[in-house]
Amino acid sequence: MPGPSRFATLWATYALTAGTLSAGLDSAGYGVLSRIALVPACAAWLGTVAYVVLRLPRAAWRAQAPAAHTFTAATALLGAGVSAAGRQTPAAALLALAALLWTLLLAAGDPGRGGTVFLRCVATQGLAVLGATLAAAESVAWPAHAAVVLFWLGLIRYGFALFRFAPREVTDGLGDHWLAGGALAVSALAGARLLSAGSGRLYVWNDDDHTVLSRVTVALLVLTLVCWVALLTAELMWPRHGFDVRRWAGVFGAAVTAAATQAVAAALDAPWLDAVGRALLWLAVALWLACTARTAAAVRAGSGPAGVRSTGRR
């Protein structure tokens, strides 16, 4: 990701990760910590907007597909955090903006064969998460109906991405290969939020729909955990040295896996699974703090975002 994309991707990824953490902390009942995490998420999101508006021509931004898809996903998942804070009007505005960006990026450039191929799935499922969240918060059915269409479309996009993904990235990737698990996790989160949207005052799904959605969501969560074990094993066998902005993909994956585990536990009334989700949540918080420190050190060493690069092998 040369040139301006490096800066935009850094801030968009930070906003995506912090927004996801905020939603996970709120689900775990840590309201104050959730609001604290929401502050840097909003700041990073606004920083991305300012950079794009002031520094990049419109055509150049659209050509930076990884950064653009990351920002779309960040907008949607930040909206989920804002909705959890009780601010439904700003969350709805973020949903509208994310939907517009998602539409404009339908014909975006070739994502290559690295982990960034999964960003289209992440952005699509991020919209599904926010739509389902708003449906439950506002007791309005149509966002859930739109979200379930996006949910299935996101799974199709994951299948296409998996076909394009180069297997050597598991051993040689510089961090964005973790999006293979992160995309599965955000899909599980979307499924859980859809289940929760139909379990309150709204009548959204009939029994057959609920059964299918439950089974698919559980399967997605199981696949997420299996994928994470495989990726962690690869990290131990083929360690990456140095630091790259793409390492944030692993932090995002940890945060969204924790949020998905807690959401599935709430949707299916499984307290033991909630305990697992809370343990993963604190792991994600620790990774977030560590990666924030590493990023700040790398930026200082490189005299700017362009200095955030890896010494690992490719």
Q: Identify whether 237 is part of a domain.
A: yes
CATH number at residue 299: 1.50.10.150
pLDDT the model gives residue 313: 40
The parts of the chain modelled with pLDDT lower than 50 are: 1-4, 303, 305-314
pLDDT the model gives residue 197: 84
Q: Identify whether 313 is part of a domain.
A: no
Contact between 51 and 8 under an 8 Å Cβ cutoff? The reply is yes
Q: Identify whether 297 is part of a domain.
A: yes
pLDDT the model gives residue 1: 35
pLDDT the model gives residue 8: 72
Distances (CA, A) of 63 to 59, 69, 244: 6, 11, 22
Token pair of 187, please? 């899909």
Q: Identify whether 230 is part of a domain.
A: yes
**Whole-angstrom distance, CA of residue 228 vs CA of residue 170:** 11
**Whole-angstrom distance, CA of residue 1 vs CA of residue 218:** 35
Query: Model's pTM, two decimal places?
Result: 0.89
pLDDT the model gives residue 61: 57
Conformational region of residue 240, where left means phi above 0, alpha means psi within -120 to 50, and beta covers everything else:
beta
| Overall number of domains in the chain | 1
Residue with tokens 């994951």: 158
Q: How confident is the model over 128-177, as pLDDT tens digits?
A: 999 999 998 888 888 989 999 999 999 999 999 999 998 888 888 888 88
Q: Identify whether 135 is part of a domain.
A: yes
Q: Identify whether 41 is part of a domain.
A: yes
pLDDT the model gives residue 29: 86
Helix axes 271-302, 4-27, angle to 10 degrees: 150
Q: Identify whether 312 is part of a domain.
A: no
Q: Identify whether 245 is part of a domain.
A: yes
Q: Which domain holds residue 237?
A: 4-307
